[in-house]
Each structure stands twice: as C-alpha cells, then as structure tokens.
C-alpha cells in the first residue's frame, strides 16, 4: 500500500491519509465482492449495482471533504456512513443472522483507526445496541422476512467484506507498526546521538563561557585608567588559566619587551600555546599558556581551536591597550605643551566658547566664567573691515583648517595680536560639531615687524636718491639668485621692475640682460657662490630701445642663520664706457694713422742727410715734405675736432684741466 500512497509527516496529514486509505480499501473490497456476485448471482445484479454505487458515493463524498481540509469531519462521516452501509441491509437480509452483520466488525476497526479508541468504542457500543435491537425484533417476530435467500457461497462472498477489510487493516497496522517501530528505533538512535552532541555542545558552551568570561574580566581590568601597566598585567596573568580547558593544570606568562609576568606555578613546558604581536612603536607583546602535564590531543596539540582564537584576541587586546595608553600619554604631553605654549579655545558650531585654557584667560584678562557661552567675536577689536572674515567663514563652512592673524582686545581694551589656526572637528556623518582655535601671541613680533617695515621704508627713501640700483640678494649653487631687497634709484635708464616683481620673478632681471652677457653674468654669480668673495662685474642691459652698460659690485656677509647674503649696488657706466672708447680710438688713430706720414718724413730727411743733393733735388724733396706736413696737420685738426665733439657729447662733467701737462713745447 505504501508503494502508491503518500506517507504523511504531521498528525493531521496522517489522519487525512488514513481517511484516504480506508475509503479506497472499502471501495476496492466492495468492488471485488460485486464482481464475484455478478459471476455467481447474475439475477441479483440490481443489488450488486446498488452496493457498488453506494460504496463509490460514500468514498467520493468523504474524499472530497477530506481534500477540502475537513479531515475530522470526513473521519466521522466515513465511519458513520460505512456503519449505515453495512447495518441497514442487515435489517432486510436476515437480521442478526445476515452475513453482513459480521462486516460491522470491520467498521468498528475502521472507526478505531480514524477516530481513535473513543471513536471505535462509540461505534462498537452503537453496533452492540443495534444488533440487540435486531435480535429482539427477530424474537418477537417484528423483523421483516429476508428478501435474499443466502446460500453458503453467498454467505462466503458476503463475509469477504469483513475478512478483506480486517486483512487489509491488519496488514496496514502491522506494516505501519513495524515501520513505526523502525522509525522509533531510528529516532532513539538520533536522540542518543543528539544527547551526545548536546553534551559536547554543552561542554563547548561551558568552554566558550569560560573564554568569554576571561575576555570580559580582562576588558574590565584594562578599563582602569588610574592603574599602571605593570599592575594591570599582573592582574591579567592570574586570570588567564581560567579560560582554558584544565585551569588547575594550566600556567600562564605575559611578556612585554624584556619584562615578564607569570603565574606562581609557571614553568617552561613542552605543552604550550603562544601568541605574539608588535605595537606601532615596536614593543613586543606575547602570551604563553602551558599545560603542566600531558593532556588529550585536540585541534592544536592539547589545545582547542577556540583557545587559539582566545589567545590571539587577548594579545590583540593587550596590544591595542598599550598603544592606546602610549597615545594617551603622548596626547597628555602634547596638551600640556600646547597649554603651556599656546592660547587655546574650543567653540561650538555657533562660535560660542565652550573651553578656554589658562593662557587664553591671561591674554584676555577674563575669567573662564566670563568667557563661557560668549561668541568668539566678544574679544575681537574694531580694526577689521566687514569683508575681513569672509575667507575664514568660507573655510569654516567647508570644514577646512584656516590660518590668519587677528587683532583682539583685552578686558581693559588693550590690543594684542595673535597668529591663529582654526581646526574644525567633524563627526561620523561629516558634519562640523566644534572648532579648535590655537593662538600664539605675536604682539611683540608684530611691533618688531612694524619697526623693521618703517626702517625698510626709511632705507628705501634714502637709497631712492642714489642714481644706481641697490640690492640685497642670496645666490644658489646653480647661479640663480633671490632678491631680498631692491631700490631702483633715480637714474632714468634704470630698469623699471618693482621689488615685488623681482622678488617673485628674479628671472626678469636675467631676461633684461644683453644676450651676449647672460652667460658671463651667470658664471660670475656661480663663482661668487663658490668662493664667497666680492662680486664685481660689468655687463649690458637692454632698457627700452637703449643698451646700457652697468657695473655690479656686492660684498658677501653671513646672517645669523649662517646663510651668505650679498649687499651691493649697480651703476650706469655707459658715459664712462663711451669716454674710454673715445680715448682708445684716439690712441689707436695716433699709433696707426700718424705713423705712416712720419715714416715718410723720416725717409726723406734721411735721404737729405745721407746724400749731397743739388738745389733742384732739395727743392723737390722739400715740396714732398710740405705735402706730407699738410696731410699731418689736416688729420691732427680733424682728430682734435672729433675729440672736442666727444667731450661735449659725454654726460660726464669733470674738469680735468688741472691734471693735464701744460707743456709749451713738445721738445723741452
């Protein structure tokens, strides 16, 4: 039967299954009887058809109810319908002696299967009562005459129903009982395995509870901020054995760098478990757990896999705590240094003060109580335009640090300057929740800068009356230079660059050099950097459409930082260069042009001296000498004219007549 019927899993499904099975069994048995009856008693075909149709109707009706989910109703309905199906024909088929009366036994069994012992008992009592009534009616003669005369064969056929039903139920119950017993046996084995697994799980859970308790206790100890690291580690090492399988046979040791902390029973042993880590600052931390005697083999020697996780977590906890304490100590030191050196305040997003340090109170002359809750502008002076804080406000809104200089006022309205750095603090969602302001009093430096600026302005004012350019500059190894100070002077041919331009772009001066002098200028600066000596160089600059000669002279001097600074000036020497060029040209002309006629004169005079010339020959030579003398006189007058012209054109206005030798004759 189990080969073609589904097997239920739940109680309701099982009862539905039984309704289905018993309805099919009754229908099949009835169908078999009807087939036999048609064969042996064809004349009773109406009776057989009635039995078959009634059986099919009962099965169909109850199967539909069962399919709709009314299983309990279908169970009662099937039991009662089968009882009526068997009992009613007994009334007209011989009463208590009718063959069908035996089928009531199978109905009682069916009710017992479907409705349990209470349902089976109810149907049994109903059957006993009904059969008694039928017997009584037959005794008093009120039972109708049987309409069917049964033969032994027909009685055998009629008994097939109870026997077949009983056999089917017996087979099913026996098979079901056997299956149930097997299932029960399997269930018992499963329960035994489950009990073993439960015990193992309970053991593991106890171990995990020990491990968690150890972790909790270590975490609780590490929360003590007042205790020293040495004290904490001594407490922790005593707790560690309690987290392992065999606490009474376990010892532990913690090592931090070269310092160790161990339980009283610790001795080195071959049965050990160890974990080691290194902090960010390179400090080594290790935990060693040892069993003092051999133990059963587990996941890692005698140790559990979970114990490996536990020791790793404990080392990690110690590492994190040591790093946290190191950072905390550093932060305390930083805070102390910051509070000592700086003016510190904290404000909320509304710029209202929530914290000020002692230096802040000293600088402002207010007490902390007077400052708390006040807007930061409470200490601002009136030396600002409305747009002064625009950049700062934009930085604060963007959540970026800002640095600036501010002039504040004290309680007695004294002004002081601070160099301020404002750092916004962001929460996890990226929103600003407060601002940290770090300030340094720069009042004295500001006053010194003002004095330096005034001195610089005075120097510029003085040096602006010098014709040349004055410089203060430093030189790099490559020959590049950085101008630290410059003044243009009064010379109309000085370059037109401002100090701001040259300080930012010193290459502009190089660009203004004559193309033929750039390499020489750069080489001179390199040599000055190498030798740390005075610079003296003449070069040309292109100023507008003019090419002017300049002379740079500068002396080196080391500042307080040990850096060499050159101080010097440049002067326009173009007139001097032109004057020297004129003199050089004059000397060149004297040494080259006049020498030719003089050589001719010397040759002719030698001819007169060495020869006895006639009057005619002397006259001819004299004429030649005269021509040569005229040429020399003409050239000398032209040379003198050119010299006087050059003298008038030069811008140099120096009277040097007192230095000239006033000889009346060339041959004194």
pLDDT, tens digit, for every residue of 68-125?
988 889 889 988 888 888 777 776 665 555 556 667 777 887 888 788 878 888 888 8
Taking the C-alpha atoms of residue 197 and residue 191, their distance in angstroms, rounded to an integer, is 9
The length of the chain is: 668
Residues 17-61: pLDDT tens digits?
888 888 888 888 788 877 877 777 777 788 778 888 988 998 999
For CA atoms 68, 70, 71, 73, the dihedral sign is negative
> Are 65 and 80 in contact, with CB atoms under 8 Å apart?
no
Q: What is the DSSP letter of 228?
A: -
Q: Do residues 483 and 470 touch, judged by C-beta distance below 8 A? A: no
Task: Give the 3-state secondary structure of residue 418.
Answer: strand
Query: CA of 517: how far to CAs of 476, 514, 546, 657, in Å?
Result: 19, 5, 15, 36
Rounded distance between C-alpha atoms, residue 188 and residue 338, angstroms = 75
The label of the residue with tokens 């009120």 reads 142
| Rounded Cα gap, residues 332 and 391, in angstroms | 33
Measured distance CA(81)–CA(61) in Å, rounded? 10
Buried b (16+ CB within 10 A) or exposed e, 130-167: bbeebeeeeeeeebeeeeeebeeebeebbebbbebbee
Evaluated on CA atoms 300, 302, 306, 312, the torsion sign reads: negative
pLDDT for 64: 92
pLDDT profile of the chain (668 residues), mean per 10: 41 76 82 77 78 88 90 89 80 58 76 81 85 79 65 63 65 64 77 83 79 86 86 90 89 91 90 89 90 88 87 90 83 77 86 88 89 86 75 80 87 88 86 88 80 66 63 83 74 61 75 86 88 88 82 86 84 78 73 72 76 77 79 78 68 56 49
Query: Residue 252: its pLDDT value, please?
Result: 93
Q: Which stretches does DSSP call E strand in 109-232?
A: none
According to DSSP, the residues that pair with 403 across neighbouring strands are 421
Per-residue pLDDT at 261 = 92
Quickly list DSSP for 324-353: HHHHHHHHHHHHHHHHHHSEEEEEETT-BE
Q: Which two tokens stand for residue 42?
A: 């064809």
pLDDT for res 255: 93
The secondary element (H helix, E strand) that includes residue 407 is strand 402-409
Mean pLDDT rounded to a whole number for the chain:
79
């Amino acid at each position: 039967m189990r080969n073609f019927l589904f097997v239920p899993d739940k109680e309701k499904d099982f009862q539905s299954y039984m309704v289905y099975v018993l309805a099919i069994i009754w229908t099949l048995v009835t169908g078999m009887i009807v087939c036999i009856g048609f064969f042996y008693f064809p004349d009773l075909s109406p009776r057989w058809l009635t039995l078959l149709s009634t059986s099919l109707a009962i099965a169909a009706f109850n199967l539909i109810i069962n399919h709709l989910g009314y299983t309990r109703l279908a169970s009662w309905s099937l039991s009662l319908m089968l009882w009526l199906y068997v009992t009613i024909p007994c009334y007209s088929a011989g009463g208590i002696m009718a063959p069908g009366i035996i089928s009531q036994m199978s109905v009682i069994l069916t009710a017992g299967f479907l409705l349990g012992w209470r349902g089976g008992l109810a149907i049994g009592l109903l059957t006993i009562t009904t059969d008694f009534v039928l017997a009584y009616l037959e005794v008093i003669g009120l039972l109708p005459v049987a309409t069917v005369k049964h033969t032994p064969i027909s009685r055998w056929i009629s008994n097939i129903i109870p026997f077949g039903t009983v056999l089917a139920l017996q087979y099913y119950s026996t098979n079901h009982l056997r299956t149930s017993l097997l299932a029960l046996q399997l269930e018992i084995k499963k329960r035994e395995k489950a009990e073993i697994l439960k015990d193992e799980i309970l053991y593991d859970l106890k171990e995990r509870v020990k491990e968690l308790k150890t972790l909790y206790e270590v975490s609780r100890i590490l929360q003590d901020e007042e205790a020293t690291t040495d004290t904490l580690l001594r407490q922790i090492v005593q707790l560690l054995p309690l987290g392992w399988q065999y606490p009474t046979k376990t010892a532990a040791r913690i090592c931090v760098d070269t310092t160790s902390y161990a339980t009283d029973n610790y001795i080195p042993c071959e049965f050990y478990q160890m974990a080691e880590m290194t902090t960010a600052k390179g400090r080594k931390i290790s935990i060693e757990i040892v069993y003092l005697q051999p133990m059963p083999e587990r996941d890692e020697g005698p140790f559990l896999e979970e114990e490996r996780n536990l020791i790793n977590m404990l080392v990690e906890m110690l590492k994190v705590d040591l790093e946290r304490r190191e950072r905390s100590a550093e932060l305390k030191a930083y805070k102390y240094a910051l509070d000592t050196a700086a003016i510190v305040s904290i404000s909320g997003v509304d710029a209202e003060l929530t914290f000020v340090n002692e230096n802040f109170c000293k600088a402002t002359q207010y007490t902390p109580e007077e400052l708390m809750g006040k807007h930061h502008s409470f200490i601002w002076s009136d030396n600002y335009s409305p747009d002064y804080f625009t950049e700062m406000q934009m930085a604060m809104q963007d959540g970026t640090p800002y640095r600036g200089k501010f002039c504040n006022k004290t309680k007695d309205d004294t002004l002081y300057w601070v160099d301020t750095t404002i750092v916004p603090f962001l929460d996890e969602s990226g929103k600003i929740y407060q601002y940290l302001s770090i300030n340094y009093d720069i009042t004295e430096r500001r006053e010194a800068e003002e004095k330096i600026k005034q001195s610089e302005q005075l120097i510029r004012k003085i040096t602006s009356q010098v014709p040349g350019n004055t410089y203060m500059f430093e030189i790099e190894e490559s020959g590049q230079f950085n101008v630290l100070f410059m003044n243009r002077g009064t010379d109309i041919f000085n370059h037109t660059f401002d100090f701001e331009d040259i300080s930012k772009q010193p290459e502009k001066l190089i660009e203004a050099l004559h193309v033929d002098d750039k390499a020489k200028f750069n080489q001179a600066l390199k040599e000055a950097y190498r030798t740390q000596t005075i610079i003296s160089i003449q070069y040309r600059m292109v100023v507008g459409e003019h090419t002017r000669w300049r002379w740079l002279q500068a002396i080196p001097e080391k500042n307080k930082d040990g850096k060499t600074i050159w101080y010097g000036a440049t002067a326009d020497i173009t007139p001097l260069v032109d004057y020297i060029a004129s003199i050089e040209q004059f000397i060149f002309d004297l040494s080259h042009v006049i020498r030719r006629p003089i050589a001719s004169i010397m040759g002719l005079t030698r001819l007169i001296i060495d020869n006895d010339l006639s009057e005619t020959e002397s006259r001819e030579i004299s004429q030649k000498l005269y021509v040569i003398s005229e040429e020399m006189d003409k050239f000398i007058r032209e040379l003198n004219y050119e010299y006087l012209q050059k003298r008038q054109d030069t811008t140099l206005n120096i009277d040097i007549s007192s230095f000239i030798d006033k000889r009346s004759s060339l041959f004194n």
